[in-house]
Each structure stands twice: as structure tokens, then as C-alpha cells.
Structure 1
Amino acid sequence: MVEHRILGPEDGELYQPQQACGDRFLVNSREWGGHFSLVEHRLPPKVLAAPVHRHTHEDEFSFILEGSVGARFGDEEVVARPGDLVFKPRDEWHTFWNAGETPARLLEIISPGGLEELFRWLDQLGGEPSPEQLEQKARPYGCSTDMDATMALIAKHGLVF
């Protein structure tokens, strides 16, 4: 049974590599019967959070706390600002990045939970996985990536990944 608690602004399991997406794990799905998870993403300027990808098991919702966050859905691109909620339904190709010159932060709600374990693996890896490693690790989560679309997006916006 989970007990009540308050997490402060720097509590939780935090990974913040240089010039990469940082993650602060706030709600782990394994503590809540797999129903959902909550992760804070911290993005330095012009950092791509993830390759263009889709997942078949989860819906994601990103609530923007600060900065401007670019998001791509198929061929459509949008920019979300603080207070905006971005819906990323399952089975849709998408990604997101810091579209501004200042740090960006967003809360990522994942339902059902479990996908946060893939984020944790990437954070603990300590380096960039090969496309083959990423594809192999993402497959059990119902995820696939499109590295050609990812590289085109990086070139278009001058992003770091």
C-alpha cells in the first residue's frame, strides 16, 4: 500500500545529463498498479527529448510548466507554452523538443504506466544507445522509432540529440 506523501521540487529520482533530456521520476506505475506514471522532463535549449516514435500501449499527456516545447505529430508541428496540455495518443508518430533559448520543463502523464521504465533505462545507460539497441529495448514496450525522420527534424531545427 502506498502511503500519502509530498514530493518537493527536487525530490524524486532525478537524472540530468549535460545537453540532453533530464527526467525526474515522480510517480512510478509499479506503485499504483500500473495505472499511470508521472515524469518531469527537463530540456535544455534546442534539445530533442526522444526520437520520432510511436507506442501502442500508452497515451501520453504533456503539461508545459516553463519554456516553449515543439511537438511533431506525423507531419504537423506545433509549439506549446506554459499552461498548455499536449495530447499524444497511442499509435501516433510523435516527438517533442525544447523550441526556445531557455530551459523547458513539462510533466508527462503516461497511461497506463510502464513506459517510464524505458526512460529510466535510457537515463541509466549514461550514453547514447545505437539505433539497434534502442529498437530492441523499445520493442517490449510496443514502441518503434523512425531515425530517418528524427535526423531530418534535427537538421531542420538545429537540435541536439
Structure 2
Amino acid sequence: MKRNVFLWSAWAAIPAVFSSLKAFAMPRTAKGFKVNAGDARFGVHYKMKGVTLNILDIKISGKDTDGDIAVFEQTGLTPNGGPPLHIHPQQDEWFYVVEGEYLFQVGEDKFQLKAGDTIFLPRNVKHAFLQKTQTGKMVVTYMPAGKMEEFFVVTDQWSSPPSKETIEAAFADHGMQVVGPPLSAG
């Protein structure tokens, strides 16, 4: 009988052990911090070469939040540009338009957004956006953080426009699935 109690107690403790290991592997930031306007959390401004010419600055890293959330500021430098229609199976996204105008597709619905507007994109729903103005700026939040920071490291390293297959592979390697072309301005 005591052996069974020991075995069940040991079995019940397994989630706590894994939880402790997760905290050890990716500790949550215990102290608040400020990221100044125009700066990135770790001083790196990522460019989404090949997909757009946009600049992405990490403001809150998944490393700060134990992977719960990542927040980027996206400076839009690609009029009539945007990512291909894609899905995030494991992440919700939230966008807040700071300046400029955008067209978003979420599922089959299309939305016009301008400065001050917010849009929520649930996981597993196809979506894309198109920058309608010469420049723009958005705050983009991923919940959970997933592999988005690593994705932008990859796109920043492209030195020439990548093939459709390279773009699809980069999306897939970082937890996303391309399901269609970018939105068009027409």
C-alpha cells in the first residue's frame, strides 16, 4: 500500500518538476523596464527583407514573459505591401495602428484600419494585411510569443528577394502556414 502511495505521489509531482524546468530554461523578467521610442528591446532593428521592407523592433520579448507574449513595433515602409495570407495555428495576434492606413483580411472579412484602430486575429484564422499609405506604424502583439522573434531574425538575413518556396519554408519553420498570396491594392 505504501509503495502505491509513493508511486502516485511521485507521478503527481511530475508537472511541478516540468514547470520548474521551464522556469529555469526561460526565466520571466522580474524587474520592469522601459524601451525608448525609436529603440528596440535588445538594440536590433529587424527588416523583413523579401516580404516587405518594414522594420520590426522588439518592445517586449518572449524572453521577458516566459514565452507568454511578444510585442513589436512595426514601421511600415512598403506601400501596397504586406505578408502573404497565412495562419498561426498556436498564436493570437493583436494589431494597433499608430499611423497610416491598412487593409486587413481576417477569414473572409476585410477591414479598413486607420490610426487609433485595433484588430484582433484569432489563431487558426487566415489573415493578411496591406499597407495603404506611403508609411505606417503598428504595434503588433503575439500571444503566446512563439517563434516570431526568430522568424524576423531569418527575414533580416535575406540579401535578395526570396523565392515563394523560401518564404513558405521560413513561415513553416516558425509555426505559421502560408495559405495564399499577399493582398492586392486593386
Q: Same fold (TM over 0.5)?
A: yes
Aligned counterpart, 1:103: 135
Shift of 1:4: 2.5
Quote the Cα distance in structure 2 between the aligned partners of 1:60 and 1:116.
14
Query: Could you tell me which of 112, 117, 121 is aligned with 1:88?
Result: 121
Quote the Cα distance in structure 2 between the aligned partners of 1:141 and 1:122.
11
Quote the Cα distance in structure 1 between the aligned partners of 2:174 and 2:132.
27
Shift of 1:98: 1.2
Quote the Cα distance in structure 2 between the aligned partners of 1:38 and 1:47.
24
Note the 1:1-161 alignment, pairs <5 A. Answer: 2=29, 3-12=31-40, 13-16=44-47, 20-44=53-77, 46-100=79-133, 102-114=134-146, 115-147=148-180, 149-150=181-182, 153-154=183-184, 157=185
Residue type matched to 1:103 in 2?
T
Quote the Cα distance in structure 2 between the aligned partners of 1:17 and 1:116.
11
Percent of matched pairs sharing the same residue: 22
| 1:53-80 C-alpha deviation (Å, 9 max, x unpaired) | 1110100000111111111123322111
The number of residue pairs the alignment matches comes to: 152
Quote the Cα distance in structure 2 between the aligned partners of 1:9 and 1:136.
33
Q: Give the conservation status (yes or no) of the 8 Å contact 2:48–2:152.
A: no
Shift of 1:29: 0.4
Does 1 or 2 have the higher relative contact order (CA < 8 Å, sep 6+)?
Answer: 1
Larger radius of gyration: 2
- RMSD value, Cα: 2.2
Shift of 1:41: 1.0
TM-score scaled by structure 2? 0.72
Shift of 1:17: 7.0
1:47 and 1:123, CA in 2 relative to 1: closer, same or farther beyond 3 A? farther
Unaligned runs of 5+ in 1: none
